[in-house]
Amino acid sequence: MLTIADLRRQNLLLFEVVSGSRAYGTDLPHSDRDLKGVFVLPEADFFGLDYVPQVANETNDEVFYELRRFVELLLKNNPTALEMLGTPADCVIFKSPLFAEFTAKNFLSKLCQASFADYATAQIRKARGLHKKINYPEPPARKSVLDFCYVTVGAGAQPVADWLARRGLRAGQCGLTNVPHLTDLYALFVDEGAASPDAAGPLGYRGLLRDSALSQDVQLSAVPKGEAPVAYLSFNRDGYSSYCRTYREYDEWVARRNPERYENTLAHGKNYDAKNMLHVFRLLRMAEEIAIGGELRVRRADREFLLQIRRGEFEYDFLLAEAEALVARVAAAFAASALPEAPDRAFALKLLLQTRQHFYAERAATSAAALPEMP
């Protein structure tokens, strides 16, 4: 498997930059050093069966794209690829002369509205989701099926737990049977012959659940003929499924969340992911600059404003309203923009072929020069 160390050792790199906050100018003393780059596969690998579109390290903060994959991203106006081409000079580690014509200006188009602004909109949705998780977290104890079961009482209904408690009953004394033609409605029977609420009665009812902690459904019992139901129980299956999905998403979020960013979110007290919201405004403002001036400004002149967001100096609702207004402004700017609808595909293809051919030709010449002379 090709590694980043292999790319350097085999001199396959065309371009390498420091990306992320250090390129934007929004880095802090503890910020990571992210690397991005472009490489060319060895000729035998490119023409063989093992094309490698990108190589990354384990943490994915160092990512290098094969030349063809990089051009594919540029033709989609992918923000990451375009930002690499707009990297400030102090963040460029290496740039081959063969890479000279790869400039952002040669690829900017109206596709940037979707790639930049739509991505920012997705980040807004993500911020909303995080805001909800922080402010309305799921309780640590998971609810069971019984929390979504209700028993008919007159013309109304009561949660089954309340109904049982008021009658001094336990779920184990009860039995359920299906009510024909009615989904998730059950006839509820009580075994009055039980010596105590916790003991099984002579009718042998199986209770409402097999295992309250694990069961995903109510449990049915065999009820002797002649027994009359004391009530009817309804299981809100859709509500239980929706709850399980939300609980699982919250659980996954807790497992995946970046501890440092989460603690920072709690520390500034505004209950949103400040770094996430910073990127919303960075992307939207960059999109507006592209639409109006045809320029990609990676190093941010609005650094202080972005850092204010990161420090949590603005209220969540204010930032959300500002971001949504900016989305509308970006849409209007692109509607009036003189940018082409999409990058010039013919130009991109010519540049791709030319760069790859020259790269392989140079390597072949270097290899030939290194051969010992024939006697």
Beta bridge partners of 66: 39
Q: How far apart are CA 25 and CA 27, in angstroms?
A: 6
| Model confidence pLDDT, tens digit, residues 35-58 | 999 999 999 999 988 899 999 998
- Residue 129: what pLDDT? 54
3-class secondary structure, 337: coil
- Residue 118: what pLDDT? 81
**127 or 329: which carries more pLDDT confidence?**
329
- Pairing mode, if any, of strands 54-56 and 62-66? antiparallel
Inter-axis angle of helices 316-335 and 274-293, nearest 10 = 20
Closest-CA residue to 70 (of 57, 82, 87, 56)? 82
pLDDT band at 365; cut points 50, 70, 90? confident
User: With contact defined as beta carbons under 8 Å apart, do 187 and 114 qualify?
Assistant: no
pLDDT band at 102; cut points 50, 70, 90? very high
User: With contact defined as beta carbons under 8 Å apart, do 292 and 82 qualify?
Assistant: no
For the cut 70, the answer to whether the pLDDT of residue 370 exceeds it is no
Q: Which amino acid is at 304?
A: E
**What is the mean predicted confidence (pLDDT) over 173-180?**
93
- Residue 195: what pLDDT? 58
| Model confidence pLDDT, tens digit, residues 201-227 | 688 898 898 775 667 899 999 999 889
- Residue 127: what pLDDT? 61
- Residue 267: what pLDDT? 45
- Residue 358: what pLDDT? 97
Q: Which CATH code for domain 1-101+343-375?
A: 3.30.460
**What is the mean predicted confidence (pLDDT) over 178-188?**
94
Beta-strand ranges (E) seen in 33-184 are: 34-39, 54-56, 62-66, 92-95, 149-153, 156-159, 174-178
- Residue 140: what pLDDT? 61
C-alpha Rg value of the chain to the nearest Å: 31
| Model confidence pLDDT, tens digit, residues 129-165 | 554 454 445 556 778 899 999 999 988 999 999 999 9
Which residues have C-beta within 8 Å of that of residue 288, sequence separation ≥ 6?
326, 329, 330, 333
Q: How far apart are CA 186 and CA 183, in angstroms?
A: 9
- Tell me if the pTM is above 0.75: no
| Model confidence pLDDT, tens digit, residues 237-287 | 999 998 888 778 776 766 665 555 444 544 444 556 778 889 999 999 999
User: With contact defined as beta carbons under 8 Å apart, do 191 and 221 qualify?
Assistant: no
pLDDT above 70: percentage of residues in the chain? 85
| Model confidence pLDDT, tens digit, residues 293-338 | 999 999 999 999 999 998 888 888 898 899 989 999 999 999 999 9
| Model confidence pLDDT, tens digit, residues 21-34 | 999 999 988 888 99
For the cut 60, the answer to whether the pLDDT of residue 361 exceeds it is yes
Q: Which amino acid is at 321?
A: A
Domain locations along the chain? 1-101+343-375, 108-137+258-340, 145-241
